[in-house]
Amino acid sequence: MINKNTKIKVMTELERYEDKLEYDKFQTLVNTKEYVTKAEYEFIINYDKTEKSNFSYIGNYSKHGDYLNFNVYCEYEHHEAITKQEIG
Q: Sheet containing 35-36: give its strands across.
A: 35-36, 67-69, 55-57
d(CA 27, CA 19): 12
Per residue in 11-55, pLDDT (tens digit) is 899 999 999 999 999 999 999 999 999 999 999 999 999 999 999
- Cα dist from 29 to 6, 16, 50, 80, whole Å: 36, 20, 14, 23
**pLDDT of the residue at 2:** 61
Query: What is the mean predicted confidence (pLDDT) over 62-85?
Result: 80
d(CA 43, CA 27): 11
**pLDDT of the residue at 29:** 97
pTM of the model: 0.72
